[in-house]
Amino acid sequence: KAGVTQTPRYLIKTRGQQVTLSCSPISGHRSVSWYQQTPGQGLQFLFEYFSETQRNKGNFPGRFSGRQFSNSRSEMNVSTLELGDSALYLCASSSTGTSAGGELFFGEGSRLTVL
């Protein structure tokens, strides 16, 4: 069974640009959560999608958005990039989602550097 796949693994952008990150969950998993990980703030919750619906959202500005497709694949987008957006973005999938006690399976992450 393939794990959670995130693309791209590494990317460099400049301030003001926008970026789209992709996540393919484990086959059969309908819940996808996104987290931002930085040395100073740790793992911070961005949003969770379940069956194409956003089920939960963290405290991030509107520049951060996401969506989920009918095949459960998810994308997140960050517009008007700022230096502080440099981070590791982790995607996690679950069969039932965190509300039902589902264990999260994480991908390797997409490391974004904003110059």
Question: Which residues contact another protein by CB under 8 A?
Answer: 4, 33, 35, 41-45, 48, 55-56, 58, 90, 97-99, 101, 103-109
Burial of residue 62, with CB atoms counted within 10 A of its CB: 0-12 exposed, 13-18 middle, 19 or more buried: exposed
In whole angstroms, the minimum distance from the beta carbon of 13 to another protein comes to 21
Nearer to another protein, 67 or 105 (CB): 105
Nearer to another protein, 90 or 114 (CB): 90
In whole angstroms, the minimum distance from the beta carbon of 84 to another protein comes to 17
Q: In what order do the strands lie in the sheet with 5-7?
A: 5-7, 19-24, 74-78, 64-68
Rounded to 5 degrees, what are φ and ψ at 83?
-55, -35
